[in-house]
Amino acid sequence: MHKVAVVGRPNVGKSSLFNRLIGRREAVVADFPGVTRDAKEGLMLYQNHRITLIDTGGLWSGDEWEAAIREKAEWAMEGAQAVIFVLDPREGLSAADYEVADWLRKLGKPVIAMANKIDSPKHEVYLSELWALGFGEPIAVSAEHARGLDDLMDRVMSHLPEDDEDVSEIAPIRISLIGRPNVGKSSLLNAMTQTERAIVADQPGTTRDSLDVEWDYGGQRFVLVDTAGIRKKPDTAIEDYAIQRSQAAIARSDLIWLVVNAGDLGDHELKLANLAYESGKPVIVVVNKWDLIPDEDLKFTEKDLAQKLHHISYAPRVYTSAINEYGIHEMLAEAMKLHAKWQSRIPTSELNRWLEVWQMRQSVPNFHGKKLKMYFMTQVETSPPTFAIFCNRADFVTRSYEGYLQNRIREDLDLAGIPVRLKWKEKGPYKREKGANNDD
């Protein structure tokens, strides 16, 4: 697959261009610099070519993140076959633009100078200054208005080799890492991929957008999504939008790693567990920083965790340490196992045999001498497994009895660790008309 990097100083429109080229709003865009910090990947298709596009943070930003952002950009350059150097000629060339240009020349990659924010032909008068950078004729583009993109991509394609790759048809497993700020999500991702893909710092809020990392493990393709830390009350508008991006990443995922700090469990974990549960996706609770818990506190910490996350007690737990890479392989093994179960389908005949057994094991709800009657059960959806049970009175189903059936489905049908959904359908001679309140 081809690889193209997008670079430039802060606030020239790199993320706007990235979103426009991949055809969806993946990167956070704002009117102030410093929003993008990590190197974010996205897949774009152009003239039947698959291109991995990489959006990098603003270079030579002059702030505390400058060195870390440049390090991630240098990683992005390693396999890049072309570089789009985004500039804002309407502001004129700055010292940072010249610094980035010198840095690019040392890397020796093909560079396309792209003049962004050229919204109309009259703005092309600003292009002349860009020739001084030494990268040939600049391309006039407006990422916001989709102007000049074909000219840009024609120049990019001229630097790419012939596309002869054999693209795998196996869909990747997409996993999101969610959690409070500073629980170690980015550190876990780096430890897993054996790279420094995500910026790691002691202060919370380092990751400000969801970061997709394509990765292969044991022949299985993954897309690992490092999301922004989710707070109870975001401090800024950009943080609030980053949370929305995290929630969107969860919706697109196949599985969720709920990362918690073993030594700092709070009520906020309950909210995150609810978010994970309501998504209908398999959840693995990743208890990070386990190596920092004293031996005498291990049992207490496990009990505290079980109490706070009791409503997703079905979710498996993996105990990890990003520092010494303890538990990393268990995270992946558990994810592959749950993904297979999440897509499984149970034959109707098997379901109904078990339905009889479950009713014998546990008495059905009884209201004033009138019993819940279950006639038939079938699976209506996968991902998550969803089952319809046809009965005489859906309003007779108690929460505890539904929980009992969900537990039995997980344990007896080899769906341990999977969220199970039940739909109750009334049928037969006692089926009520909509809005009626008749008795059996």
Element housing 44 (H / E) = strand 40-46
pLDDT of residue 27: 46
Tell me the CA distances in angstroms from 98 to 60, 105, 117, 130, 156, one per residue in order: 10, 11, 19, 10, 22
Classify 392 as helix, strand or coil: coil
The count of C-alpha atoms lying within 13 angstroms of the C-alpha of 264, restricted to the half-sphere facing its C-beta, is 11
Q: Which phi and psi angles does 142 have, rounded to 5°?
A: -125, 100
263 is in an annotated binding site: no
Q: Are 115 and 130 in contact (CB under 8 A)?
A: yes
Residue 105 CB-half CA count within 13 A? 10
Measured between alpha carbons, how far apart are the two ends of the chain, in Å? 64
- Residue 89: asked if its preceding bond is cis (omega within 30°), the reply is no
CA distance 231 to 393: 42
- Residue 433 pLDDT: 55
On whether 13 is known to bind a ligand per the annotation, the reply is: yes
Confirm or deny that 398 is annotated as ligand binding.
no
Instruction: Say if pTM beats, i.e. exceeds, 0.85.
Output: no
Q: 316 with 286: CB under 8 angstroms?
A: no
pLDDT at 385: 92
* 56 known ligand binder: yes
Domain residue spans of the chain? 2-157, 173-342, 348-426
Q: Is 38 annotated as a binding-site member?
A: no
pLDDT digit string (tens) for 392-431? 999 999 999 999 999 999 999 999 999 999 999 998 655 5
**Residue 118 is labelled as binding a ligand:** yes
361 is in an annotated binding site: no
| pLDDT for the residue numbered 86 | 92
For the domain covering 173-342, report its CATH number.
3.40.50.300
Residues of the chain with pLDDT under 70: 23-39, 48, 61-65, 163-170, 196-210, 228-246, 266-269, 428-440
CB-based contact 354:413 (threshold 8 Å):
yes
CATH 3.30.70.270 assigned to domain 2-157? The reply is no
The domains spanning 173-342 and 348-426 adopt the same CATH topology: no
Is 15 annotated as ligand-binding?
yes
What is the CATH architecture of 348-426? 2-Layer Sandwich (3.30)
- The pair of structure tokens assigned to 319 is 């105990």
What pLDDT was estimated at residue 383? 87
Neighbouring residues of 248: CB distance < 8 A, sequence distance ≥ 6: 210
Phi-psi region of 182 (alpha: psi -120 to 50; beta: other; left: phi over 0): left
Residue 256 assigned ligand-binding role: no
